Amino acid sequence: MLARIADWLETHWVTPAYAGWLLAAVAICFFAAATNTMAGWLYAISGIIFALLVLAAVLPARSLRHLQVRRKPLSPVSVGDQLTIEVEVENQTLKPKTLLQVQDMLQSELGRPVQTPVELIAPRSVYRWVYYHPTQKRGVYRWHEVQVRTATPLGLFWCRRSWHAAALAIVYPTVLPLTRCSLVDEIGREDTAQFYSDRRSNSATEDITRSLRPYRVGDPTRLIHWRTSARYGELQVRELEVFTGSQDIIICLDSGTKWDVDDFEQAVIAAASMYCYAMRRQLNPQPLQQQLQQPLR
């Protein structure tokens, strides 16, 4: 309960540090002693301490004003690689900003928040913070908050404010560097009608004219359209309609069934590796994303 109250005070106003609590207790003791003894110098000391506490409570919040926080876009990585995260803190005032603590509030699945101390941000300048964060699980991660915390200049009170800086991190599954894949290499070796559709299309589309064009040297004479050539006074050649077959590899996972978490991750790695291998072989793989009413067999 006390921690929640302290956190609320720090984000909305200020919260005393240990030194602040200690100095406040000393001021109260001096004031109590002055009340009992009616000594003016004790009143003066307690008054100076209270004034110092008020000053220390006001200055941290003022030092966080006129700051601008923004973030650079994140490049996608694969599992095991490190995310390169770059945050910029701009001082828009004519006075330097000193003794700051910048904290990036990562999504909980990525890990705990990351923080760094900033000693000085010169007037009208930008502080760039670049750090690298490891990834252990694939997914799309989003977080939106960067916090700046300070107790400057006396260190008696902490003040923390938040800035909106949206981040989108895409972590792809691990891709194995396959040199051979039998499942992909053996696709299409059987004599299917689709595999030979380009050969059959020549006979199926014989004498079906798509358009006419002027004759070029080397064109077969059987394609000359004599009636149109006589009308225009120059040779016109028919262009026949051609249909070609194709082989597309469709890679899909049945996510509708019950999977063990580790088994599903291994299946994703296998599918991603096959996809990249087929891309290198120029086999035009296609990922399938569709909700099926019947389970795959």
Residue 76's pLDDT is what?
Answer: 92
Structural domain spans, the chain: 1-172, 197-240
Residue 297's pLDDT is what?
Answer: 33
Q: pLDDT digit string (tens) for 80-102? A: 899 999 999 999 999 999 999 99
Residue 182's pLDDT is what?
Answer: 78
Q: Are 163 and 138 a contacting pair, CB within 8 Å?
A: no
pLDDT band of residue 263 (cuts 50, 70, 90) is confident
- Per mean pLDDT, which range of 131-135, 249-253, 257-261, 290-294 is the poorest? 290-294
Tell me how far apart the alpha carbons of residues 257 and 253 are, in angstroms, rounded to a whole number: 10
Residue 246's pLDDT is what?
Answer: 53
Instruction: Between 293 and 150, name the one with better pLDDT.
Output: 150
Instruction: Between 121 and 182, name the one with better pLDDT.
Output: 121
Tell me how far apart the alpha carbons of residues 205 and 242 are, in angstroms, rounded to a whole number: 7
Q: For all residues of the chain together, what is the average pLDDT?
A: 84
Q: pLDDT digit string (tens) for 182-197? A: 777 776 555 444 444 5
Tell me how far apart the alpha carbons of residues 89 and 101 are, in angstroms, rounded to a whole number: 11
Tell me how far apart the alpha carbons of residues 214 and 238 are, in angstroms, rounded to a whole number: 9
Residue 9 pLDDT more than 80? yes
Burial 157-183 (b: 16+ CB within 10 A, else e): bbbbbebebebebebbbbeeeeeebee
β 82-91/125-134 pair status:
antiparallel
Residue 295's pLDDT is what?
Answer: 39
Q: What is the distance of C-alpha 249 from the center of its chain?
A: 29
Q: What are phi and psi of 5, to 5 degrees?
A: -65, -45
- 228, HSE (Cβ side, Cα atoms, 13 Å): 13
Q: Are 247 and 272 a contacting pair, CB within 8 Å?
A: no
Q: Are 65 and 163 a contacting pair, CB within 8 Å?
A: no
| Architecture (CATH level 2) of domain 1-172 | Sandwich (2.60)
- 101 Cβ neighbours under 8 A, 6+ residues apart: 115, 116, 117, 118, 148, 149, 150
Which two structure tokens, joined as six digits, stand for 80?
């095991």
Residue 220 pLDDT more than 90? no
Residue 287's pLDDT is what?
Answer: 62
Task: With CA atoms as reference, report the closest residue to 214 among 185, 181, 239.
Answer: 239
Q: pLDDT digit string (tens) for 53-88? A: 999 999 999 999 999 999 999 999 988 899 999 999
